[in-house]
Structure 1
Amino acid sequence: MQLRRYVLTRRPVRVLLLAALLLTGCTAQPVGGAPRAAAFNATDIAWIQLMIPMDERARLLTELAPARAGDPALARLAQRAADRQEAELALLRGLLVRSAAPDNRPHEGHDMPGMVSSDTVRRAGALSGEEFDRVFAAALRAHLTQALLLCAGERASGGAEEARELAGELEKAGSEQLALLDAARTGKS
């Protein structure tokens, strides 16, 4: 998959805070003291365990778009985003298995920046046309923006080369999705 590079404004303080969060407060502990693969550090594990529920929640929103979007360009974008989320989830789940970290869902039920909330999914499910498009676009933008920050944190502080490489790929794909979202919302798609 070839993706064009989209330059983002970096927010060094937010990235450093994210890296600190990933290294301290949201780390996974191996079950039963079983050692995890040495190449994966706490940042890798936290990144994987956060990206999975973020994509799962975003997937709930993108599934609504075909029946509810008013703008056909936005519906097409939602389908591409859904396909990308499915591919990302498969790769992230594979990394989780290779990391030997538990699949204990530490972020289940959390509503964090960029994570599509259950309320947003419910609200979007009751809307259609332009109203749905506004809610969908705002939630997808927040999801993609936060995912880019998380991926930057993983690339900067992750220990496993395969996790850092995947973060780079997800960062490129997310940048492309943001550019497509901007184009769809301005009628340039």
Structure 2
Amino acid sequence: MFTRTIARRAALAGAGTVVVLALAGCAGDHSPSGMGHDQPRSTTTGASASAAAFGPADVMFAQMMIPHHQQAVEMADLAATRAADPEVKRLAGQIKAAQAPEIATMRGWLAAWGRPMPSPGGEMPHMDHGMPGMMSAADMARLAAASGREFDRQFLTMMIAHHEGAITMAEDELADGANSDAKKLAQEIITAQRAEIATMREILARL
């Protein structure tokens, strides 16, 4: 898959080396700001991740998953005012509650590792391919223009594809990553989003 190609290119750019970040003083004194949020899905913290080995695949995972999650949160926010089905609204709230803290966690990792944050559009200098499951600007505009049952159907269809893309990236992290906290979050994403995909397919089938 092209995502695995991205990770491998990043690994080559990093000379295949796993970097250990040397922290001055105790790791607990250097926790990134903003990491005190409750995390419904993950207990991983930027502080613990910063104290462990990390490699290019871990950096790529965080840099790609942050904008991917941000788009899911944006879609969930649309559902709060446009969805008709109560179950769609409930699921959208669940997605936002899980992914917003994960964004903060991954941003903390990048800060601790001394690696750049993705831009609001999700682009990084070495990312010359799109991320799997990401909606285009036209897709997002179409979703924002919809309401009621039509919104519900579009939201579910798009979010299923979006989740499948996140699972692909998380599987790449499990295969290629070195950081135990990043791999733990990747597994949590896979487990949670597979369950949400099953729920969304059930809702879509009855609409």
In the superposition, the TM-score normalised over structure 2's length comes to 0.72
User: Structure 2 CA distance, aligned partners of 1:27 and 1:57?
Assistant: 29
Output one character per residue of 1:42-91: Cα deviation in whole Å (capped at 9) or x when no partner.
11111110000011112111101021112211111111111112122122
User: Structure 1 CA distance, aligned partners of 2:67 and 2:12?
Assistant: 15
Cα pair 2:173 2:186 within 8 Å, conserved? yes
1:1-189, aligned counterparts within 5 Å? 14=1, 17-24=2-9, 37=21, 39-105=53-119, 107-108=122-123, 111-187=130-206
User: Structure 1 CA distance, aligned partners of 2:80 and 2:153?
Assistant: 15
Note the C-alpha offset of 1:20: 2.7
Q: 1:69 to 1:28 in 2, by over 3 A?
A: farther
Deviates more, 1:105-114 or 1:132-141: 105-114
User: Structure 1 CA distance, aligned partners of 2:174 and 2:130?
Assistant: 24
Letter in 1 for 2:89: A
Output one character per residue of 1:109-151: Cα deviation in whole Å (capped at 9) or x when no partner.
9753311222222211111112111211111011100100110
Larger RCO: Structure 1 or Structure 2 (Cα < 8 Å, ≥ 6 residues apart)? 1
Note the C-alpha offset of 1:27: 8.3
Q: CA RMSD in A?
A: 2.6
Letter in 2 for 1:155: L
Identity across the alignment (%)? 32
Report the structure number with the largest CA radius of gyration: 2
In the superposition, the TM-score normalised over structure 1's length comes to 0.78
Cα pair 1:114 1:147 within 8 Å, conserved? yes
Deviates more, 1:159-168 or 1:86-95: 86-95
Listed as ranges, the gaps of 5+ residues in structure 1 are 1-13, 30-34
User: Structure 2 CA distance, aligned partners of 1:154 and 1:59?
Assistant: 22
Listed as ranges, the gaps of 5+ residues in structure 2 are 22-51
Q: 1:187 to 1:28 in 2, by over 3 A?
A: farther
Cα pair 1:124 1:135 within 8 Å, conserved? yes
User: Structure 2 CA distance, aligned partners of 1:55 and 1:61?
Assistant: 10
Cα pair 2:72 2:159 within 8 Å, conserved? yes
Cα pair 2:10 2:56 within 8 Å, conserved? no
